[in-house]
């Protein structure tokens, strides 16, 4: 008598398809949440050299400014004044805080009359550093690129509003050899 093969339980196709659909939906939701909390940013142009170079990629934190306020020295991504839908955001270093007076005098930056030490700048400012003064309002910030001679920043478009700030740069992840957690640059003067 031939041996009968035991019957295998049938795969429930509906259950299997539902599991795949739920997994795909879960991956999508996680991706969207991560993108909302920590979007990625592509550096374009020389304005932040030597801190960042063109085509480097960064992770930005929106959460930092939901639970706290921007601080001097933060590298922020923001929508520039007058930008339209589809315009790329800009990235600059936060120099001036609400209520402060920012002054450029003899190509040097002063905050509330005190000279600001800036160890991160690319080169001494030779262009676009005309003497000028900005008085910041209650929710206004002053930003400048680290490469002062090649930066479109608050010297040109004036201060930015708190509502224009998207987030703070946290991690440089591309190219892989440039990977770094971006430490905050804190200043003891103003």
Residues 20-34 have pLDDT tens digits of 888 889 888 888 777
Q: Is residue 154 part of a domain?
A: yes
Q: How many domains does the chain have?
A: 1
Question: Which candidate in 80, 92, 151, 154 is catalytic?
Answer: 92
Handedness of CA 105, 111, 114, 120 (dihedral sign): negative
Report field, pTM of the whole predicted structure over 0.75: yes
47 assigned to active site:
yes
CATH code of the domain covering residue 119: 2.10.109.10
Look up 5 and say whether it is catalytic. Answer: no
pLDDT given at position 188: 44
For residue 28, tell me if it sits in a domain.
no
Query: pLDDT digits over 83-97, tens only?
Result: 888 888 999 999 999
Q: Which of 47, 80, 151, 154 is catalytic?
A: 47
Residue 79 inside a domain? The answer is: yes
Q: What is the pLDDT of residues 112-168, one digit of tens each?
A: 999 998 888 878 888 778 899 999 999 999 999 999 999 999 999 989 999 999 999
Domain carrying residue 160: 40-181
Of 190, 141, 185, which is closest to residue 163 (Cα–Cα)?
Answer: 141
Q: Report d(CA 180, CA 89) in Å as an integer.
A: 22
For the chain, how many residues are written?
190
DSSP E strand boundaries for the chain: 40-42, 57-61, 75-78, 90-96, 101-105, 108-111, 114-115, 132-135, 140-144, 160-161, 165-174, 180-181
pLDDT band at 1 (very low <50, low <70, confident <90, very high): low
Please name the residues in contact with 172: beta carbons below 8 A apart, sequence gap of 6 or more.
52, 56, 57, 58, 178, 179, 180, 182
Instruction: Look at residue 11 and tell me whether its pLDDT is greater than 80.
Output: no
């Amino acid at each position: 008598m031939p041996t009968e093969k035991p019957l295998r339980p049938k795969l429930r196709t509906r259950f299997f398809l539902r599991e795949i659909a739920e997994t795909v939906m879960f991956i999508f939701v996680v991706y969207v949440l991560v993108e909302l909390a920590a979007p990625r940013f592509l550096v374009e142009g020389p304005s932040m050299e030597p801190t960042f170079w063109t085509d480097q990629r960064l992770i930005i934190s929106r959460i930092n400014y939901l639970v706290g306020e921007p601080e001097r020295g933060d590298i922020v991504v923001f929508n520039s004044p007058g930008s339209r839908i589809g315009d790329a955001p800009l990235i600059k270093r936060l120099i001036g805080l609400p209520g402060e007076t920012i002054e450029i005098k003899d190509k040097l930056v002063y905050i509330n009359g005190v000279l600001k030490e800036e160890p991160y700048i690319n080169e001494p400012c030779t262009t676009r550093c005309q003497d000028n003064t900005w008085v910041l309002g209650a929710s206004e910030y002053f930003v400048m690129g680290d490469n002062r001679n090649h930066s479109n920043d608050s010297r040109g478009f004036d201060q930015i509003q708190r509502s224009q700030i998207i987030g703070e740069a946290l991690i440089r992840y591309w190219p892989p050899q440039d990977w770094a957690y971006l430490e905050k640059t804190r200043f003891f003067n103003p």
